[in-house]
Amino acid sequence: MKQITVVGVGYVGLVTAACFSDLGNKVVALDIDEERIEGLKRGEMPIYEPGLEELVERNVAAGRLAFTTSYKEAMKEAEFAFICVATPSGGDGEADLKYVESAARSIAENMQAELIVINKSTVPVGTGDWVSDIIKEHKKKSIDFSVVSCPEFLAEGVAIQGFMNPARTVLGSLNKEAADKVAQLHLPLRSPIVITDLRTAEMIKYASNAFLATKISFINEIANVCESLGADVKEVAAGMGFDPRIGSQFLGAGLGYGGSCFPKDVKALAFMAEEMGHEPKILESVMATNDSRRQMAIRRITQMLGGLEGKTIGLMGLAFKPNTDDMRDAPSIDIAEALLAAGASVKGYDPVAMEAAAPLLPDVQMVDDAYALAEGCDALMVVTEWNEFIQLDLEQVRDLMKTPVMFDGRNVYEPGKMADLGFDYAGVGRGYNGNGEREGAPAKQANAA
């Protein structure tokens, strides 16, 4: 049984702590937020993640998982210390490392024996060397330590599955023995393990997220063209996805990416590139395309209604993606604010994120279910593709609405079916109107015979 300390109990830290304890290790999870830690001791989860509450309860009951706000307590027997704190965007898009710095200093001041410090937070290239310098400066005893980068690749909503069945584990260190010890921790996961140097491991994380964000922005660019030429982007994406060189994931056209990772990581990578004198043109285009998706949604619903003044719009889904309550950079925030600014009234419903959304959207009327959302609305907008919305009685939804207008920002529904039900429906990049007729004009052919 290994002794592990995890600093930070957000999405990454709490999942990391719970999963390592479930693998048979003794884990102490630390956070300086007293309210959050006291809640965890009472069995209250600070985040929504499917299966997490049961995993935490099981391992607390087994004595393998404990929570504290004390670095002294957490570091008492630690062999490994994972740093899993937030690295939010700074004013210029750079990663703010104040929480990493604080964690590294506190670990140094309280370490009691030889220690491997593992940075799991997403950090700029070179942070591992900086963390090592901080620990050297602040440690109070002559204790050997090593720093290893082990970037996380978890996806909210499937984080436990992602931790337990990773596509790969990336480890970076200048100390091969330390990297090997961290690799041993991950052996029960039976994933490929990539061992490299610190800076390369840190770069793998940024490059991976930036590439996935690029796929999302790319398919949204294709959706725009599909709409104009009368093609269906869902079928285009499906056809592309069968190619193993491309793959089917992250090819869902819609309102773009949000959440805690892609927006800040793409910005941070672009910032690093600029700092080194490079022009990150692709990254800049990715961000610009993503920003435009929310504006596109407002333009589309405005066209469908002939204006927004005095209209009531219902937002179906508020979290940035399904199976999470995370509202960080959620499209619903920008969309709601734009609708309100244009004179509309806005209602909102989300199966999980209502509590998290309420303080961020104080002028949005929150309702208890999707049918209450539809009642009296001039239009509905699908913002988050929850499975619950797929199962709705759409005839009842239609009859509850003032006018059956729907903009499907996640392409949850089929245009033909919605037309048959009497909806004035628009998806994203769905060039056919459901009757086999193209909504756009055919492309002009150069040098046509």
Short-list 169, 162, 161, CA closest to 185: 169
Rounded CA gap, 331 and 353, in Å? 13
Q: Which residues of 250-266 are buried (b: 16+ CB within 10 A; e: fewer)?
A: bbbbbbbbbbbbbbbbb
Short-list 80, 107, 262, CA closest to 179: 80
> Residue 217, SS3?
helix
403, two tokens: 């006018």
DSSP state of 189: G
* Three-state SS annotation for 80-146: EEEECCCCCECCCCCECCHHHHHHHHHHHHHCCCCEEEEECCCCCCCHHHHHHHHHHHHCCCCCCEE
Rounded CA gap, 197 and 176, in Å? 9
Rounded CA gap, 84 and 49, in Å? 17
> Residue 314, SS3?
strand
Q: Are strands 345-349 and 115-119 parallel, antiparallel or unpaired?
A: unpaired
Torsion (CA) 286, 259, 130, 71 in degrees, nearest 10: 180
Q: Which of 19, 150, 261, 377 is catalytic?
A: 261
Q: What is the DSSP string of 46-74?
A: SS--TTHHHHHHHHHHTTSEEEES-HHHH
Instruction: Let me know if 377 is a catalytic residue.
Output: no
Rounded CA gap, 302 and 304, in Å? 6
Estimate the share of the chain in helix, then strand, then coil, as percent rounded to the nearest 5: 45, 15, 40
Strand partners, 382: 316, 408
Q: Are strands 115-119 and 365-366 parallel, antiparallel or unpaired?
A: unpaired
- Asked if 317 contacts 380 with a C-beta cutoff of 8 angstroms, the reply is no
In a 10 Å sphere around its CB, with 0-12 CB exposed, 13-18 middle and 19+ buried, how is residue 142 labelled?
exposed
List Cα–Cα distances, 178 to 64, 108, 195, 202, 205, in angstroms. Answer: 23, 17, 11, 17, 20
Please give the positions annotated as active site: 261
